[in-house]
Amino acid sequence: MQNFTMLRIFLLSFSYLAMFLNVMASAYFSELFEPIWAPDHITTQGDHVRLNLDSATGCGFMSKNKYLFGKISAQIKLVQGDSAGTVTAYYLTADGPNHDELDFEFLGNVSGEPYLVQTNLFVNGTGDREQRHSLWFDPTTDFHNYTFFWNHHFIIFQVDQVPIRVFEKKEEMGVQFPKAQAMGIHGSLWNGDDWATEGGRVKTNWSHSPFVVTFGSFEVDACAVSSGIDDAVAKCGKPGKFWWDKSSNKKLDKNQRRQLKMVQDKYLVYDYCKDTARFTQMPRECQN
């Protein structure tokens, strides 16, 4: 009986703690982010933020601060059912035509067909560095964690802590690396049926709208830059100043290398570095 009473007290305490954490998570979102597109299509419920897409419009949000280097994660549950034509974007971007940008784009599909995750990078306004992966789970039934890890040595795109892509710093080869522009965190849901599903052959079926994607909790452990106040490079750009530049983070560890190889072998469906029809001369970072 004593053990049962202690267990009941623990469960009640945990329940109250969970309620408190949900309130904090909701406040945390409102403190860090703001709607920038169709705010009437964005709703919050507890620690969840729902983006809605219908035939009239999609919607989106962005962070109030920008960040230069660090680790940024979001839990996302993607559009269920027939999501063909829809694009869920979770990305970091600076401003202006010569901007830096890191992208996760989730390309919807017809029911029963797998989602594709497209990653991309822009450095000084130049992109065209797409990779596409399928996933080893259904991303529509539960939340999964999608992470940017960015330091002076490389950028890692992670799914549930598993690296799916690494972009290494290769400035000695003439490859530009994003290291001077602070970037805001963005999330959006929009219609991309001119290209997103089977190259645009499959269109959005609006009879299934509204399409809904849900963002759960965010983890932002990065160097924050206040627009118009901070010098991003002076505040955040000194190598070795923060934990993400420690010697242990200069390269993938053995387990991460094994995971990356597994993902690239089994789930990579497109790599710009292998697209000889697209590039008459391969980008420098693709050259060994």
Q: Give the tokens for residue 43.
A: 């709703």
Q: Which residue is listed with tokens 């909701």?
A: 26
Nearest to 192 by CA among 128, 124, 116: 116
Instruction: Tell me the sheet residues that pair with 51.
Output: 42, 213
Q: Tell me, what amino acid is at 34?
A: E
**Known catalytic membership, residue 168:** no
* Active-site choice (34, 105, 113, 130): 105
Paired strand residues for 154: 168
State the catalytic residue, choosing from 31, 101, 130, 285.
101
Told to judge if 105 belongs to the known catalytic residues of this protein, a careful annotator would answer: yes
In the chain, the DSSP E strands lie at: 33-37, 42-45, 48-53, 59-77, 86-93, 101-107, 116-122, 131-133, 144-150, 154-159, 162-168, 183-191, 211-225, 268-271
User: Catalytic amino acids?
Assistant: 101, 105
